[in-house]
Amino acid sequence: MAFPPLDFSKDRLKLLDQRKLPGAVEWLECRTAEEVVQAIRQMVVRGAPAIGVAAGYGLYLGIQNFEGRREDLLKLLEEKAALLKEARPTAVNLAWAVERVKKRVLSEKSRSADELKIAALQEAEKIREEDDRLCRAIGKHGARLFKAGETALTHCNAGGLATSGYGTALAVFYTLQEEGKAVSVYATETRPLLQGARLTAWELTQSRIPVTLVCESSVASLMRAGKIKRVVVGADRIAANGDTANKIGTYGIALLAKAHQIPFYIAAPSSTFDFSISSGKKIPIENRSSEEITEGFGKRTAPAGIRTENPAFDVTPHKLIAAFITEKGVLNPPYSKSLKVLRLSNDS
Amino acid sequence: MAFPPLDFSKDRLKLLDQRKLPGAVEWLECRTAEEVVQAIRQMVVRGAPAIGVAAGYGLYLGIQNFEGRREDLLKLLEEKAALLKEARPTAVNLAWAVERVKKRVLSEKSRSADELKIAALQEAEKIREEDDRLCRAIGKHGARLFKAGETALTHCNAGGLATSGYGTALAVFYTLQEEGKAVSVYATETRPLLQGARLTAWELTQSRIPVTLVCESSVASLMRAGKIKRVVVGADRIAANGDTANKIGTYGIALLAKAHQIPFYIAAPSSTFDFSISSGKKIPIENRSSEEITEGFGKRTAPAGIRTENPAFDVTPHKLIAAFITEKGVLNPPYSKSLKVLRLSNDS
């Protein structure tokens, strides 16, 4: 079982307000494109795939109340699409989903206004269904790597909350649960923003998967004590050689896994591979504000004016990665071969 | 320059209230043994050496107002010693310092009551001076390992605040500064209790040593980027073979240092070596409460009822340690030889 962070019915998009987790489970109802834009901007919904799905529905909501001529509907469609795409300009999935719904409508523009609205909703549903299918395929391929009853470590939140509900790294755990191969999970709290504590621990608890929350600082001693059999994390971007950018802390965990001979896996859809980048050295790393470290809990915990370094991501060299778990299957080393095959399949 | 967390003058022990750091610099004045007991119990003062020094003065304060017969003074001395030793029963330095002041007074018991009071104060001063001398010797030996201008990483607080003012791991940095060999420091925030953010970052800032605060999760990528040349941390207990118990996270940092070929040093007085324990496997590790992780900032940041593992310490195998920096000199591998020599010198 997983926990979908959004639900669409009766022309309303309900979004789980992730800012309030884990303290409160509150749903925000959006009836217009503008409300969806607000929700994306304010991070009620987060995670590239989930944002894409929400934006798809958002474009339908932008036109669903329209009454009038077809030409005016198409004008409105363009306006709302532009509005949605600006909600978070760097989120690639957002623009992609909005464009996809728009194109679908335009491809049927000889039909009636009502039919065009239905086409928009159908395409939004399709995006959600595809994301779900893709996550479940990742889960299925990943689960084959596990024996029943093993304990895995994950970092940050590559979970249902970041997708249409089934996650990427966490998809592996949901599949293991569904297949009756009990799994238990260590989740790092994931400083500075605590996505592990706030989101991963919460969604695994909701799904009744046994989860133990730990500070990053105890990962090495847990590994040494034999308590962790495998590591599964997500990815933000994967270079052509397999070097992988993910939440800060991932590279350290990969090194610790190597030192303890524990397999370290990346679970991500094939769209995460960026074949235009030859290696991890070319992936730019965002540095974020000091306050995330020094006042992350609404309370100052470090001297005023202290210098910090707060990179949001790090790059794990492909040599530390035991396998990539994608919706198309598990990619094993040597990556110079297996990623070339994936590239051909992505291009097709 | 370092920052002494206590000061004694005019029959008053002033303690820097470390619970209020880094938000406020407040000094608590103790005029009686009872007030010192309260301060130790409530962790106004922390760190085994600093607690020992405070307790020594505490015993003097316990008898300094006494007027009357010498026999009654000695009775009072016993009472106050017992009281102080109970302040934190597990702190070895506390009992050791109290006993030492008591013995000094008893060794001169044929003298007048006023002379006995002075003997107590002299012994308390001597404990403080010895701790300072020992920390400075550690600093001097450690500084020789550095080239000018290098950047080091430290973890938790093995600093002046935990001693009479000069620290153990941080003593190395203070010495480098005094010798004009500029050093800059990365301090981990040290989850869950944030001693790095609250204490180390604060005392290094006070001493004008350039310090950058980072989450544990970014240590690996800082090392890979070549930003860290050496690691220096303290120790809670060192086994006869060199395996070292220290704040949780130390073992992981030692492994990451090894992977990046960065020397990893332990700075600690020779009294930290416990030759009754053959290896790190025999060092018991304290597990602490969930709330330190889930509500560490006065605000719940994880789901209610979540399971946690919160070990306070980990053990770093001696093979990962490039050298031990003690007041008696730098001990290099092979430790089967160098620690044997230290043991003989400790026994003498």
Give pTM, 2 decimals. 0.93
CA distance A138 to B131: 59
Q: Least CB-CB distance to A302: which of B197, B251, B252?
A: B197
Q: Is B283 on the interface with A (CB under 8 A)?
A: no
H helices within chain B, ranges in order?
33-41, 48-63, 70-85, 92-107, 113-143, 169-178, 195, 201-206, 219-224, 250-259, 291-294, 335-347
CA distance A162 to A172: 15
Provide the residue ranges of all domains of chain B, joining segments of one domain with +: 6-135, 139-347
A139-347, CATH topology level:
Rossmann fold (3.40.50)
- A148 burial (CB, 10 Å; 0-12 / 13-18 / 19+) is exposed
Phi, psi dihedrals of residue A156, rounded to the nearest 5°: 60, -155
Q: Which two tokens stand for residue B287?
A: 């597990």
User: Buried b vs exposed e over A30-44: b needs ≥16 C-beta within 10 Å?
Assistant: beebebbbebbeeeb
For tokens 């080393």, name the residue.
A333
**In angstroms, what CA-CA distances link A106 with A76, B163, B322?**
12, 73, 67
CA distance A292 to A310: 8
Residue A48's pLDDT is: 86
Q: Strand, helix or coil at B41? A: helix
B17, B131, B132, B236: which is the annotated catalytic residue? B236
Residue B266's pLDDT is: 98
Yes or no, beta carbons of B217 and A249 under 8 Å apart = yes
A6-135, CATH topology level:
Four Helix Bundle (Hemerythrin (Met), subunit A) (1.20.120)
**In angstroms, what CA-CA distances link B316 with A223, B190, B242, B264, B325?**
13, 16, 9, 11, 15
Sequence letter at residue A48: A
- Are B178 and B237 a contacting pair, CB within 8 Å? no
Yes or no, beta carbons of A215 and B293 under 8 Å apart = yes
Closest CA to B238 of B273, B284, B269, B276: B273
CA distance B233 to A198: 31
Yes or no, beta carbons of A248 and B198 under 8 Å apart = no
Yes or no, beta carbons of B202 and A303 under 8 Å apart = yes
Residues from chain B that touch A299, judged by Cβ atoms under 8 A, are: 297-299
- The mean predicted confidence, pLDDT, of chain A is 95
- Are B311 and B249 a contacting pair, CB within 8 Å? no
CA distance A46 to B58: 56
Residues sharing a CB contact under 8 Å with residue B6, sequence separation 6 or more, in sequence order: B13, B14, B15, B16, B45, B50, B53, B54, B57, B164, B165
User: Buried b vs exposed e over B241-259: b needs ≥16 C-beta within 10 Å?
Assistant: bbbbbbbbbbbbbbbbbbb
CA distance A106 to B12: 84
Q: Strand, helix or coil at A93? A: helix
Q: What is the DSSP letter of B168?
A: S
Q: What is the pLDDT along chain B (348 residues), one digit of tens a residue?
A: 578 999 999 999 999 999 999 999 999 999 999 999 999 999 899 988 999 999 999 999 999 999 999 999 999 999 999 999 999 876 678 999 999 999 999 999 899 999 999 999 999 999 999 999 999 999 999 999 999 999 999 999 999 999 999 999 999 999 999 999 999 999 999 999 999 999 999 999 999 999 999 999 999 999 999 999 999 999 999 999 999 999 999 999 999 999 999 999 999 999 899 999 999 998 888 888 999 999 977 789 999 999 999 999 999 999 999 999 999 999 999 999 999 999 998 876
Which of B221, B223, B314 to probe the A interface (max A CBs under 10 A)?
Answer: B221
- Are B251 and A220 a contacting pair, CB within 8 Å? yes
For tokens 């006042």, name the residue.
A295
Yes or no, beta carbons of B221 and A251 under 8 Å apart = yes
CA distance B249 to B316: 10
Strand arrangement of the beta sheet that strand B12-16 belongs to:
B6-9, B12-16, B27-30
Residue A98's pLDDT is: 97
Q: Is the dihedral of CA A277, A279, A280, A281 positive or negative?
A: negative
Residues from chain B that touch A189, judged by Cβ atoms under 8 A, are: 191, 293, 301-302
Q: What is the DSSP letter of B218?
A: G
For A218-260, write each residue's pLDDT tens digit: 999 999 999 999 999 999 999 999 999 999 999 999 999 999 9
CA distance B303 to B341: 52
Sequence letter at residue A327: E
Residues from chain B that touch A308, judged by Cβ atoms under 8 A, are: 212-214
**In angstroms, what CA-CA distances link B162 with B85, B126, B188, B202, B247?**
18, 18, 17, 13, 14
Residue A348's pLDDT is: 67
Yes or no, beta carbons of B216 and A212 under 8 Å apart = no
Which of B185, B203, B218 to probe the A interface (max A CBs under 10 A)?
Answer: B218
CA distance B42 to B40: 6
- B156 burial (CB, 10 Å; 0-12 / 13-18 / 19+) is buried
Q: Strand, helix or coil at B69? A: coil
Q: Strand, helix or coil at B117? A: helix
Q: Is B10 on the interface with A (CB under 8 A)?
A: no
Q: Which two tokens stand for residue B277?
A: 């324990």
Q: Which two tokens stand for residue A258?
A: 């190597």
Q: Strand, helix or coil at A275? A: coil
Judged by CB atoms within 8 Å, which residues 22-61 of A form the interface with B? 22-23
Q: Is the dihedral of CA A166, A171, A177, A180 positive or negative?
A: positive
User: Buried b vs exposed e over B81-90: b needs ≥16 C-beta within 10 Å?
Assistant: bebbbebbee
Q: Strand, helix or coil at A110? A: coil
Q: What is the pLDDT along chain A (348 residues), one digit of tens a residue?
A: 578 999 999 999 999 999 999 999 999 999 999 999 999 999 899 988 999 999 999 999 999 999 999 999 999 999 999 999 999 876 678 999 999 999 999 999 899 999 999 999 999 999 999 999 999 999 999 999 999 999 999 999 999 999 999 999 999 999 999 999 999 999 999 999 999 999 999 999 999 999 999 999 999 999 999 999 999 999 999 999 999 999 999 999 999 999 999 999 999 999 899 999 999 998 888 888 999 999 977 789 999 999 999 999 999 999 999 999 999 999 999 999 999 999 998 876
Q: Identify whether B243 is a catalytic site residue.
A: no
Residues from chain A that touch B217, judged by Cβ atoms under 8 A, are: 190-191, 216, 247-249, 252
- Are A122 and A104 a contacting pair, CB within 8 Å? yes
Phi, psi dihedrals of residue A17, rounded to the nearest 5°: -80, 95
Yes or no, beta carbons of B213 and A300 under 8 Å apart = no
Residues from chain B that touch A314, judged by Cβ atoms under 8 A, are: 218, 220-221
Residue B348's pLDDT is: 67
